[in-house]
Homo-oligomer: A and B are copies of this chain.
Amino acid sequence: MTKDYVVGVDIGGQSSKIGLVDRMGNIVAQEVMRYGADSPRQYKENDAELFIEDLCKYIGRVVESVGIDSVQGIGIGAPNANYYTGTIEDAANLLWAKGRVVYLSQGVSKHFNDIKVTITNDANAAAVGEMTYGAAKGMKNFIEITLGTGVGSGIVINGEVVYGADGLAGELGHTVAIRNNGRQCNCGKRGCLEAYASAIGVARTAREWLEADLDKKMGNGRESSLRHLADITSKDIYDAAKEGDPMAIEVFDYTAKLLGYMFADFIAFSAPEAIILFGGLVKAKEFLLDKIQKYMDDEVVSFWRGKVKVLPSSLKESDAAILGAASLAW
Protein backbone atom coordinates (compact mmCIF):
# COMPACT_ATOMS: atom_id res chain seq x y z
CA MET A 1 0.00 0.00 0.00
CA THR A 2 2.56 2.57 1.05
CA LYS A 3 4.67 1.76 -2.02
CA ASP A 4 1.88 3.09 -4.22
CA TYR A 5 2.23 6.73 -3.22
CA VAL A 6 4.83 9.46 -3.12
CA VAL A 7 4.71 13.03 -1.88
CA GLY A 8 5.50 15.89 -4.26
CA VAL A 9 6.35 19.30 -2.81
CA ASP A 10 6.64 22.53 -4.78
CA ILE A 11 8.35 25.26 -2.78
CA GLY A 12 7.69 28.78 -4.04
CA GLY A 13 8.26 32.30 -2.83
CA GLN A 14 4.67 32.87 -1.58
CA SER A 15 3.53 29.34 -0.78
CA SER A 16 4.41 25.66 -0.94
CA LYS A 17 2.14 23.03 -2.43
CA ILE A 18 2.14 19.53 -1.02
CA GLY A 19 0.49 16.67 -2.91
CA LEU A 20 0.09 12.92 -2.49
CA VAL A 21 0.52 11.27 -5.90
CA ASP A 22 -0.19 7.74 -7.09
CA ARG A 23 1.67 5.81 -9.80
CA MET A 24 -0.69 7.01 -12.53
CA GLY A 25 0.04 10.65 -11.74
CA ASN A 26 -3.19 11.38 -9.92
CA ILE A 27 -2.93 13.89 -7.09
CA VAL A 28 -5.13 12.12 -4.53
CA ALA A 29 -4.74 14.77 -1.82
CA GLN A 30 -3.13 18.18 -1.57
CA GLU A 31 -2.67 21.22 0.64
CA VAL A 32 -1.19 24.66 0.21
CA MET A 33 1.00 26.16 2.90
CA ARG A 34 0.89 29.96 2.52
CA TYR A 35 3.47 32.40 3.82
CA GLY A 36 3.33 35.29 1.40
CA ALA A 37 3.05 38.95 2.30
CA ASP A 38 -0.73 38.63 2.85
CA SER A 39 -0.41 35.59 5.12
CA PRO A 40 -0.12 35.65 8.91
CA ARG A 41 2.63 33.05 8.58
CA GLN A 42 6.00 34.54 7.64
CA TYR A 43 9.52 33.13 7.60
CA LYS A 44 12.44 35.43 8.23
CA GLU A 45 16.14 34.90 7.93
CA ASN A 46 17.36 32.06 10.16
CA ASP A 47 13.87 30.55 10.12
CA ALA A 48 14.92 27.56 8.00
CA GLU A 49 14.38 25.07 10.83
CA LEU A 50 10.93 26.50 11.54
CA PHE A 51 10.06 26.32 7.85
CA ILE A 52 11.12 22.68 7.64
CA GLU A 53 9.16 21.81 10.77
CA ASP A 54 5.98 23.42 9.41
CA LEU A 55 6.46 21.83 5.99
CA CYS A 56 6.76 18.41 7.61
CA LYS A 57 3.50 18.98 9.52
CA TYR A 58 1.73 19.68 6.22
CA ILE A 59 3.31 16.62 4.60
CA GLY A 60 2.19 14.45 7.50
CA ARG A 61 -1.34 15.81 7.31
CA VAL A 62 -1.66 15.22 3.56
CA VAL A 63 -0.46 11.64 3.93
CA GLU A 64 -2.75 10.91 6.87
CA SER A 65 -5.74 12.47 5.10
CA VAL A 66 -6.10 9.39 2.89
CA GLY A 67 -5.57 6.94 5.71
CA ILE A 68 -2.04 5.69 4.97
CA ASP A 69 0.88 5.95 7.32
CA SER A 70 3.90 6.17 5.06
CA VAL A 71 4.97 6.65 1.44
CA GLN A 72 7.64 5.47 -0.96
CA GLY A 73 9.51 8.77 -0.89
CA ILE A 74 9.32 12.55 -1.02
CA GLY A 75 10.31 14.70 -3.99
CA ILE A 76 10.81 18.44 -3.68
CA GLY A 77 11.13 21.10 -6.38
CA ALA A 78 12.58 24.38 -5.13
CA PRO A 79 14.54 27.38 -6.41
CA ASN A 80 18.33 26.92 -6.30
CA ALA A 81 17.95 23.33 -5.12
CA ASN A 82 21.00 21.13 -5.57
CA TYR A 83 20.22 17.52 -6.43
CA TYR A 84 23.62 16.25 -5.25
CA THR A 85 23.78 17.92 -1.86
CA GLY A 86 20.08 18.07 -0.99
CA THR A 87 20.49 21.75 -0.20
CA ILE A 88 18.93 25.04 -1.19
CA GLU A 89 21.72 27.50 -1.81
CA ASP A 90 21.22 31.23 -1.47
CA ALA A 91 17.70 31.42 -2.88
CA ALA A 92 16.87 35.08 -3.45
CA ASN A 93 13.07 34.57 -3.23
CA LEU A 94 13.10 32.59 0.01
CA LEU A 95 14.04 34.80 2.94
CA TRP A 96 14.81 31.78 5.14
CA ALA A 97 17.31 30.52 2.53
CA LYS A 98 18.83 33.85 1.52
CA GLY A 99 22.59 34.08 1.71
CA ARG A 100 22.96 30.66 3.28
CA VAL A 101 22.89 26.94 2.57
CA VAL A 102 19.85 25.08 3.96
CA TYR A 103 20.03 21.28 4.34
CA LEU A 104 16.46 20.74 3.24
CA SER A 105 16.57 17.05 2.22
CA GLN A 106 18.27 16.03 5.41
CA GLY A 107 15.86 18.01 7.58
CA VAL A 108 12.74 16.53 6.00
CA SER A 109 14.20 13.04 5.85
CA LYS A 110 15.07 13.06 9.55
CA HIS A 111 11.53 14.07 10.46
CA PHE A 112 10.12 11.00 8.67
CA ASN A 113 12.40 8.21 9.93
CA ASP A 114 15.07 8.77 7.26
CA ILE A 115 12.72 8.37 4.31
CA LYS A 116 14.33 9.06 0.93
CA VAL A 117 13.98 12.75 0.01
CA THR A 118 15.06 13.98 -3.42
CA ILE A 119 15.20 17.64 -4.38
CA THR A 120 15.95 19.54 -7.55
CA ASN A 121 15.15 22.91 -9.07
CA ASP A 122 11.73 23.69 -10.52
CA ALA A 123 12.66 23.25 -14.19
CA ASN A 124 14.39 19.91 -13.63
CA ALA A 125 11.33 18.76 -11.68
CA ALA A 126 9.12 19.82 -14.60
CA ALA A 127 11.35 17.81 -16.97
CA VAL A 128 11.04 14.69 -14.82
CA GLY A 129 7.28 15.21 -14.57
CA GLU A 130 7.06 15.61 -18.34
CA MET A 131 8.97 12.37 -18.84
CA THR A 132 6.88 10.48 -16.30
CA TYR A 133 3.40 11.80 -17.01
CA GLY A 134 3.53 14.30 -19.88
CA ALA A 135 4.53 15.08 -23.46
CA ALA A 136 7.97 13.46 -23.07
CA LYS A 137 6.64 10.04 -22.10
CA GLY A 138 8.86 7.50 -23.83
CA MET A 139 11.53 10.06 -24.78
CA LYS A 140 15.10 9.60 -23.57
CA ASN A 141 16.53 12.84 -24.96
CA PHE A 142 14.65 16.12 -24.68
CA ILE A 143 14.94 19.61 -23.25
CA GLU A 144 12.23 21.14 -21.08
CA ILE A 145 12.13 24.94 -21.22
CA THR A 146 10.00 26.74 -18.65
CA LEU A 147 8.77 30.15 -19.78
CA GLY A 148 7.52 31.81 -16.62
CA THR A 149 8.63 34.88 -14.71
CA GLY A 150 12.08 33.51 -15.58
CA VAL A 151 13.34 31.06 -18.20
CA GLY A 152 14.40 27.72 -16.74
CA SER A 153 15.50 24.46 -18.28
CA GLY A 154 15.73 20.78 -17.51
CA ILE A 155 17.89 18.74 -19.87
CA VAL A 156 17.35 15.01 -20.22
CA ILE A 157 19.99 12.86 -21.89
CA ASN A 158 19.65 9.09 -22.05
CA GLY A 159 16.67 9.24 -19.75
CA GLU A 160 18.57 11.10 -17.02
CA VAL A 161 18.40 14.75 -15.96
CA VAL A 162 21.75 16.49 -16.51
CA TYR A 163 23.07 17.82 -13.18
CA GLY A 164 26.69 18.39 -14.19
CA ALA A 165 29.77 18.40 -12.01
CA ASP A 166 28.19 20.53 -9.28
CA GLY A 167 24.46 19.76 -9.47
CA LEU A 168 23.66 23.13 -11.09
CA ALA A 169 23.64 22.30 -14.83
CA GLY A 170 20.82 23.34 -17.12
CA GLU A 171 20.70 27.13 -16.83
CA LEU A 172 19.76 27.74 -20.46
CA GLY A 173 17.86 30.89 -19.50
CA HIS A 174 21.29 32.40 -18.95
CA THR A 175 22.81 31.63 -22.31
CA VAL A 176 23.23 34.81 -24.31
CA ALA A 177 20.59 35.70 -26.91
CA ILE A 178 21.82 39.23 -27.62
CA ARG A 179 25.58 39.48 -27.43
CA ASN A 180 26.13 43.23 -27.78
CA ASN A 181 24.31 45.75 -25.61
CA GLY A 182 21.85 43.12 -24.47
CA ARG A 183 19.38 43.79 -21.68
CA GLN A 184 20.51 43.59 -18.09
CA CYS A 185 19.47 40.22 -16.62
CA ASN A 186 18.71 39.52 -12.95
CA CYS A 187 21.69 37.19 -12.86
CA GLY A 188 24.10 40.08 -13.40
CA LYS A 189 24.91 39.24 -17.02
CA ARG A 190 23.62 41.06 -20.09
CA GLY A 191 21.58 39.73 -23.00
CA CYS A 192 20.45 36.46 -21.40
CA LEU A 193 17.59 34.59 -23.05
CA GLU A 194 15.62 35.05 -19.82
CA ALA A 195 15.73 38.84 -20.20
CA TYR A 196 13.81 38.50 -23.50
CA ALA A 197 11.78 35.30 -23.44
CA SER A 198 10.37 35.22 -19.90
CA ALA A 199 6.88 36.64 -19.32
CA ILE A 200 8.59 39.71 -17.89
CA GLY A 201 10.99 39.89 -20.86
CA VAL A 202 8.16 39.78 -23.39
CA ALA A 203 6.33 42.59 -21.62
CA ARG A 204 9.58 44.55 -21.56
CA THR A 205 9.93 44.15 -25.32
CA ALA A 206 6.49 45.67 -25.83
CA ARG A 207 7.21 48.55 -23.47
CA GLU A 208 10.56 49.28 -25.12
CA TRP A 209 9.02 49.29 -28.59
CA LEU A 210 6.33 51.69 -27.47
CA GLU A 211 8.86 54.08 -26.05
CA ALA A 212 9.61 55.74 -29.33
CA ASP A 213 12.72 57.54 -28.17
CA LEU A 214 14.37 54.34 -27.14
CA ASP A 215 14.49 52.80 -30.57
CA LYS A 216 13.33 54.83 -33.50
CA LYS A 217 13.36 51.92 -35.89
CA MET A 218 10.92 49.87 -33.91
CA GLY A 219 7.67 51.09 -32.48
CA ASN A 220 8.17 54.78 -33.12
CA GLY A 221 4.71 56.18 -33.51
CA ARG A 222 3.40 52.67 -34.05
CA GLU A 223 -0.26 52.16 -33.38
CA SER A 224 -1.05 49.48 -30.86
CA SER A 225 -3.88 48.87 -28.46
CA LEU A 226 -1.16 48.23 -25.88
CA ARG A 227 -0.25 51.91 -25.91
CA HIS A 228 -3.31 52.72 -23.81
CA LEU A 229 -2.45 50.38 -20.94
CA ALA A 230 -0.88 51.74 -17.76
CA ASP A 231 1.16 48.57 -17.33
CA ILE A 232 1.67 45.77 -19.85
CA THR A 233 1.78 42.07 -19.00
CA SER A 234 2.49 39.15 -21.32
CA LYS A 235 -1.20 38.27 -21.07
CA ASP A 236 -2.16 41.72 -22.38
CA ILE A 237 0.10 41.13 -25.36
CA TYR A 238 -1.45 37.75 -26.04
CA ASP A 239 -4.94 39.23 -25.82
CA ALA A 240 -3.94 42.03 -28.18
CA ALA A 241 -2.36 39.56 -30.62
CA LYS A 242 -5.59 37.57 -30.71
CA GLU A 243 -7.40 40.80 -31.61
CA GLY A 244 -4.99 41.23 -34.51
CA ASP A 245 -2.81 43.97 -33.01
CA PRO A 246 0.24 44.02 -35.35
CA MET A 247 2.76 45.10 -32.76
CA ALA A 248 1.64 42.45 -30.29
CA ILE A 249 2.01 39.83 -33.02
CA GLU A 250 5.46 41.18 -33.83
CA VAL A 251 6.53 41.06 -30.17
CA PHE A 252 5.79 37.32 -30.19
CA ASP A 253 7.54 36.93 -33.54
CA TYR A 254 10.67 38.60 -32.16
CA THR A 255 10.54 36.41 -29.04
CA ALA A 256 10.08 33.31 -31.19
CA LYS A 257 13.09 34.26 -33.31
CA LEU A 258 15.36 34.61 -30.27
CA LEU A 259 14.10 31.33 -28.81
CA GLY A 260 14.30 29.48 -32.13
CA TYR A 261 17.85 30.62 -32.80
CA MET A 262 19.00 29.64 -29.33
CA PHE A 263 17.21 26.29 -29.59
CA ALA A 264 19.22 25.60 -32.76
CA ASP A 265 22.37 25.92 -30.63
CA PHE A 266 20.92 23.71 -27.89
CA ILE A 267 20.23 21.02 -30.49
CA ALA A 268 23.90 21.10 -31.57
CA PHE A 269 24.74 20.28 -27.97
CA SER A 270 22.53 17.33 -27.12
CA ALA A 271 20.57 16.38 -30.27
CA PRO A 272 17.24 16.00 -28.45
CA GLU A 273 14.10 14.45 -29.91
CA ALA A 274 12.06 17.44 -28.84
CA ILE A 275 12.15 20.74 -27.01
CA ILE A 276 9.13 20.99 -24.73
CA LEU A 277 7.81 24.33 -23.57
CA PHE A 278 6.11 24.78 -20.25
CA GLY A 279 4.47 27.83 -18.64
CA GLY A 280 1.98 30.57 -19.17
CA LEU A 281 3.47 31.89 -22.42
CA VAL A 282 2.96 28.53 -24.12
CA LYS A 283 -0.75 29.32 -24.47
CA ALA A 284 0.24 31.67 -27.30
CA LYS A 285 0.68 28.69 -29.61
CA GLU A 286 -0.15 30.27 -32.96
CA PHE A 287 1.96 33.36 -32.21
CA LEU A 288 4.86 31.68 -30.48
CA LEU A 289 5.29 27.87 -30.74
CA ASP A 290 4.74 27.48 -34.46
CA LYS A 291 7.11 30.35 -35.15
CA ILE A 292 9.79 29.02 -32.81
CA GLN A 293 9.71 25.78 -34.81
CA LYS A 294 10.13 27.74 -38.05
CA TYR A 295 13.01 29.94 -36.83
CA MET A 296 14.72 26.96 -35.22
CA ASP A 297 14.56 24.96 -38.44
CA ASP A 298 15.89 27.97 -40.38
CA GLU A 299 18.96 28.12 -38.18
CA VAL A 300 19.73 24.56 -37.13
CA VAL A 301 22.52 22.48 -38.73
CA SER A 302 21.00 20.94 -41.87
CA PHE A 303 20.94 17.32 -40.72
CA TRP A 304 18.60 18.20 -37.85
CA ARG A 305 16.26 20.34 -39.95
CA GLY A 306 12.66 19.17 -39.58
CA LYS A 307 13.67 16.44 -37.13
CA VAL A 308 13.41 18.10 -33.73
CA LYS A 309 9.91 18.98 -32.54
CA VAL A 310 8.93 22.01 -30.51
CA LEU A 311 6.04 20.81 -28.34
CA PRO A 312 3.84 22.30 -25.64
CA SER A 313 3.91 20.59 -22.26
CA SER A 314 0.95 18.33 -21.69
CA LEU A 315 1.09 18.75 -17.92
CA LYS A 316 -1.73 20.73 -16.35
CA GLU A 317 0.00 23.87 -15.15
CA SER A 318 -1.50 23.89 -11.68
CA ASP A 319 -0.45 20.26 -11.09
CA ALA A 320 2.88 20.19 -12.88
CA ALA A 321 5.09 21.36 -10.06
CA ILE A 322 3.72 18.77 -7.64
CA LEU A 323 3.80 16.02 -10.29
CA GLY A 324 7.35 16.90 -11.31
CA ALA A 325 8.55 16.84 -7.73
CA ALA A 326 6.65 13.61 -7.08
CA SER A 327 8.28 11.97 -10.12
CA LEU A 328 11.67 12.44 -8.49
CA ALA A 329 10.61 10.21 -5.64
CA TRP A 330 9.76 7.06 -7.62
Contacts and interface: CB of A to CB of B under 8 A. Distances in A.
Given A166-B307, A187-B302, A189-B301, A172 B270 contact: no
A170 B303 contact: no
A270 B302 CA distance: 24
Contacts of A273: 165
Interface stretch (A36-44, A154-162, A246-254): A154-162
Nearest to A305: B188
Interface stretch (A49-57, A64-72, A174-182, A282-290): A174-182
Interface residues of A, number: 42
A133 to B, nearest CB: 20
B301 A165 contact: no
Interface string A137-176: 0011100000000000001011010111111111110111
Given A164-B141, A179-B179, A269 B268 contact: no
A266 interface: yes
Nearest to A187: B301
Contacts of A179: 178-179, 261
Given A179-B261, A189-B299, A189-B301, A270 B164 contact: yes
A129 interface: no
A272 interface: yes
A33 interface: no
A213 interface: no
A271 interface: yes
Contact of A268 (B140, B175, B188, B268): B175
A97 to B, nearest CB: 15
Given A176-B299, A187-B301, A187-B302, A165 B271 contact: yes
A301 B157 CA distance: 22
Contacts of A272: 164-165
A189 B176 CA distance: 19
Interface of A: 139-141, 155, 157-158, 160, 162-172, 174-176, 178-179, 187-189, 261, 264-266, 268-273, 299, 301-304, 307
